[in-house]
């Protein structure tokens, strides 16, 4: 075995750690957030897996944690022996009470009660900015109705229901049978842990025991929400790049603390539950190549402009290197090609996204983030005016080098990269853009075969 990773499962919630090269004492140093309900079974299943160069996976050991037996509001350091193999897994498990998600009818809307709304507003006022920093805010979503949906059944009707996802929180409406213009009139409440999360609303057609059919989707960044205003959103396709058939009517209210939201911006984003591995796509690969090309050309042109200002000349140098691998068997070649193409696709996307996020920070794509960056730069300027740079570097170095000494289980992070991870890339800008409603409810008619 050359690589190792850990899988964690609590009910339907699953996480997978990063993959490390096998060693006697691997250290993952990752944090995962689960939703635990005290009235349900609280057994956390943990599996340690190994993987070789041929992508063959083997379970090396397992262990379990009874969440219900752990005390609240304290870090529990657990050393868990692994079954069927030598060694143990060291974990920190902390149970923190939090406000959960909820579903209700319009008649019992939480924000409609003035006294309850006042209490919630007081909870997230500036005076409470340093209380429970992880509790950033609360979101209320009214799912009113949809119109002119795609007919998914042979009868010319659909059985639509609506799924709402915010981070790792998932809630859904009831199903309205045999209807292309369903009315749900449900109210959903979500706790906000990161103001830069995106609310995804997907409409499906219930299909008995079979997987539900896709009927449309919208993605709404929390910072773009217009409080208390009913909005009509044109449904998009699965890639969120083109209009689909039908519209959905939503009304949203967002209350949050800007100080807590700013502090959260410089910490690592919450990891999503384990999803299917991303498939190779010629379209995505070609798009990422074009994105990298645009970013590279912009950087190159800027460098050439600066150089020409001083030297009055420009030179273009390019080096192309190609290494042909040694001859291997057919199966190994297939794995090798898949790994190379997948790696290239992921690297290209990371490079393109990184460049686009920097660009979008400076062009005020998200005013909250750009304002925060300006505020940080202004504060840094003032501090540098009064405090010598060498003292700042000394303090920063001492903090970094003693971090593990002060907290051996601390997770390393880069505040700048955490900030940039909140800035949308150009692809995400397209996905989050709200489409204009045409005269017809159906901006684009698609056949069922297009699904």
Tens of pLDDT along the chain (451 residues) come to: 578 899 999 887 888 888 888 777 888 888 888 888 776 668 899 999 888 766 678 888 999 999 888 888 888 899 999 987 888 999 999 888 776 677 777 777 878 888 888 999 999 999 999 888 888 999 999 999 999 999 988 888 999 999 999 988 888 999 999 999 999 999 999 999 999 999 999 999 998 878 899 999 999 999 999 878 889 999 999 989 899 999 999 999 999 999 999 999 999 888 877 654 555 566 666 776 777 777 777 666 666 655 555 554 444 444 433 344 444 455 555 555 566 666 666 777 888 888 899 999 999 999 999 999 999 999 999 999 999 999 999 998 898 888 878 887 777 788 899 999 999 999 999 999 988 876 544 444 443 334 4
For residues 84 and 56, state if they share a domain.
yes
pTM, full prediction: 0.76
Is there a domain that residue 330 lies in?
no
Q: Do 87 and 225 share a domain, yes or no?
A: no
Shared-domain flag, residues 11 and 109: no
pLDDT given for residue 323 in this prediction: 42
Note whether 28 and 113 are same-domain residues.
no
Q: Are residues 77 and 114 in the same domain?
A: no
Q: Cα separation of 341 and 346, whole Å?
A: 9
> Is 165 in the same domain as 188?
yes
Instruction: Provide the pLDDT for residue 213.
Output: 92
Cβ atoms 157, 182 nearer than 8 A = no
Q: Which residue has the tokens 């409440």?
A: 189
- The neighbour count for residue 23, using CB atoms within 10 Å, is 8
pLDDT for residue 280 = 54
Residues 173 and 41 grouped into a single domain: no
Q: What was the pLDDT predicted at 448? A: 39
Specify whether 64 is located in the same domain as 140: no
Residue 329 lies in a domain: no
Same domain, 161 and 256: yes
Residue 259 within a domain: yes
Last residue of one domain, picked from the residues 50, 74, 94: 94
308 in a domain, yes or no?
A: no
Is residue 214 domain-resident?
yes
Q: Are 173 and 266 within one domain?
A: yes
d(CA 249, CA 142): 9
Q: What is the predicted pLDDT for the residue at 339? A: 61
Domain containing 245 — which CATH number?
2.60.40.150
Report the distance separating Cα 451 and Cα 267, nearest Å.
Answer: 38
Residue 77: domain span: 3-94
pLDDT of residue 262: 95
- Counting the structural domains of the chain, the total is 2
67 within domain boundaries: yes
185 occurs within a structural domain: yes
Cβ–Cβ < 8 Å for 300, 290: no
pLDDT score for 158: 92
Instruction: Please identify, among 67, 94, 121, the residue that sits at the C-terminal boundary of a domain.
Output: 94
89 in the same domain as 108: no
Which of 94, 111, 134 is where one domain is finished? Answer: 94
Does residue 150 lie within any of the structural domains? yes
Clarify whether residues 142 and 234 are in a common domain. yes
């Amino acid at each position: 075995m050359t690589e190792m990773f850990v899988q964690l499962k609590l009910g339907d919630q699953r996480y997978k750690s990063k993959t490390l090269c096998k060693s006697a004492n691997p250290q993952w140093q990752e944090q995962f957030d689960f939703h635990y309900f005290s009235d349900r079974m609280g057994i956390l299943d943990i599996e340690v897996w190994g993987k070789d160069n041929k992508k063959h996976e083997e379970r090396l050991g397992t262990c379990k944690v009874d969440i219900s037996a752990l005390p609240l509001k304290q870090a529990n350091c657990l050393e868990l022996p692994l079954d069927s193999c030598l060694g143990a897994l060291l974990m920190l498990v902390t149970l923190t009470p939090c406000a959960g998600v909820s579903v209700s009818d319009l008649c019992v809307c939480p924000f409609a009660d003035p006294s309850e709304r006042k209490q919630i507003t007081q909870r997230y006022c500036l005076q409470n900015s340093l209380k429970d920093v992880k509790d950033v805010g609360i979101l209320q979503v009214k799912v009113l109705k949809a119109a002119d949906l795609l007919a998914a059944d042979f009868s010319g009707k659909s059985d639509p229901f609506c799924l709402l996802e915010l981070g790792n929180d998932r809630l859904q409406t009831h199903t309205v049978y045999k209807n292309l213009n369903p009315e749900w009139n449900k109210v959903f409440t979500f706790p906000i842990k990161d103001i830069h999360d995106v609310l995804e609303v997907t409409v499906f057609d219930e299909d008995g025991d079979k997987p539900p059919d896709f009927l449309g989707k919208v993605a709404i960044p929390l910072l773009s929400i217009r409080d208390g205003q009913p909005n009509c959103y044109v449904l998009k396709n699965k890639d969120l790049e083109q209009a689909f058939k039908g519209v959905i009517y939503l009304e949203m209210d967002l209350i949050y603390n800007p100080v807590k939201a700013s502090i959260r911006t410089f910490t690592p984003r919450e990891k999503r539950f384990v999803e299917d591995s991303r498939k190779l796509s010629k379209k995505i690969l070609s798009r990422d190549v074009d994105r990298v090309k645009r970013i590279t050309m912009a950087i190159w042109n800027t460098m050439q402009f600066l150089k020409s200002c001083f030297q009055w000349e420009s030179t273009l140098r390019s080096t192309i290197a190609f290494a042909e691998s040694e001859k291997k068997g057919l199966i190994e070649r297939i794995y090798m090609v898949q790994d190379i193409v997948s790696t290239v696709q992921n690297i290209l996307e990371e490079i393109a996204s990184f460049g686009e996020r920097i660009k979008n920070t400076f062009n005020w794509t998200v005013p909250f983030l750009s304002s925060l960056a300006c505020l940080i730069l202004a504060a840094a300027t003032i501090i540098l005016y009064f405090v010598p740079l060498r003292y700042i570097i000394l303090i920063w170095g001492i903090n970094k080098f003693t971090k593990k000494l002060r907290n051996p289980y601390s997770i390393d992070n880069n505040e700048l990269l955490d900030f940039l991870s909140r800035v949308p890339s150009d692809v995400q800008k397209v996905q989050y853009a709200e489409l204009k409603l045409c005269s017809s409810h159906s901006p684009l008619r698609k056949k069922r075969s297009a699904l």
